[in-house]
Amino acid sequence: MASAVQKIKLSPSRDIPFNKLVLSQSNVRRVKAGISIEQLAKSIAQRTLLQSLSVRAVVDASGQETGMFEVPAGGRRYRALELLVKEKRMAKTQPVPCVVRDDGIAEDDSLAENDERVGLHPLDQFRAFQSLRDGGMSEEEISARHFVTPAIVKQRLRLASVSPKLHEVYAEDGMTLEQLMAFSVTADQARQEQVWDSVSGSQLDEPYQIRRVLTENTVRASDRRAQFIGLDAYEQAGGTVMRDLFEHDDGGWLQDVPLLDRLVTEKLKGEADTIAAEGWKWIAAAVDFPYGNTNGLRELDGQPADLTEEERATLDALNAEHAKMEEDYQDADELPDEIDQRLGEIEAARSVLEARSLVYNPAEIARAGIFISIDAEGLLSITRGYVRPEDEAPAVVDPESDAQGDGETSEGQKTNGPVRRAVITAGRTCRGRRGRRHRQAAAGPARHRADRASHVGVAQRTGKRPGSRLPGGCVYRKPYPS
């Protein structure tokens, strides 16, 4: 006859007043890790104690119980409860749920409790955060209750929104966490699954390659077109922006490229309508123009516009401040950081004032045109004063002089009749470098940048530090935005 299987007997549990508990020296945990005691105390205050303490009766020399109990497993919880008592947020006689052990070894209990504890799988945590969010908790509330930053909450919620199919692949170790992060760049689950089916098992499944495929038909937020109209205007028009919460993304990717191009064209057209009031015959507007677009056109010679009284006063004040600083620190080997920064600001402000717009002959304006484009930083670029061959004034020949028979045109010819509105053409994006006129437009500021570059070169060759004085009295300053 088979013997009966011995039944397992669980240790009894009871509520013990906190002031009858003491921390045991048998607790194997010595190194601090995980959330702090203060955070654990806050969690207990919010949720009460979720896990009982493991305790053993304290006995005297004769082996008799003293009425006190030591805690070999659950030391962090004990310290958190102790902190709540010290802060007078919990009574010292508060009953604490405990499991009372009377056999085995205390150190073995402590080690087993820590060794056999399994941390939550990341996917379970993502889904748990999503459940809390669906239950009405805000991201800030989740952050506060679980001791993580709001940014981490956003990241985990984003990972929870990835296709369930990819979640299962990740749960079965068929995909790395970094790959799952890469898929979170788009909210289109069907697209996520399509890309995974395409790249899984290939040599093209690195996270950066996955991101590249998912964003191949988008435009970066750092693109000149996006900078020109601004993300706010794009989103207000119904456009969506894909963001990567795990890698630096330069502001993200704009998904609706046709909408972006339409907004850019409309804004360029609006700028052209405003400039048309100057009286130009034609205006060509595009995101960019190819190299050599001004070949065959005559460039007008304009005169720099005079400074207004206010601008002249500003420039004089900047020059005076610059001269005083140079005089005050002429004997210093190095400039203080604040002085170096201010000198850079003065030079940048002077460059703007010295880069004057040009004034043209009204008669020439009536037969010339303008190119409007967007520069690399997303700012409007306007290059004025180009005459097409067909718009040149007819040659006037003096029959009494052969010297004027070489096709020279008359200057200052006036147009008759009402001023015609400029013909505006707004083209699509033209790739390529811009022409000579565009490069000349920045000649003023470029001169200062070139001077500064030469100073930097001298400083680097001579081992000078920023703020040091160079040969000839120049001061090597830290770079400033141009």
Considering only 149-163, 311-325, 397-411, which range has the smallest mean pLDDT?
A: 397-411
Tens-place pLDDT, residues 39-61? 999 999 999 999 999 999 999 98
Query: How far is 468 from 471, CA to CA, in rounded Å?
Result: 10
Is 52 within 8 Å of 15 (Cβ atoms)?
no
375: how many CB neighbours lie within 10 A of its CB?
A: 16
**For the segment 97-149, what is each residue's pLDDT rounded down to a tens digit?**
999 998 889 898 889 888 887 788 999 999 999 999 999 999 999 999 999 99
Nearest to 390 by CA among 350, 349, 416, 423: 423
Instruction: Report the alpha-carbon distance of residue 80 to residue 41 in Å, rounded.
Output: 5
Structure tokens that stand for 466 in this block:
């920023």
Q: How much is the pTM? A: 0.64
Start-to-end Cα distance in the chain: 96
What is the tens place of the pLDDT at every residue in 27-42?
Answer: 888 787 777 899 999 9
Helix (H) or strand (E) holding 67: strand 65-73
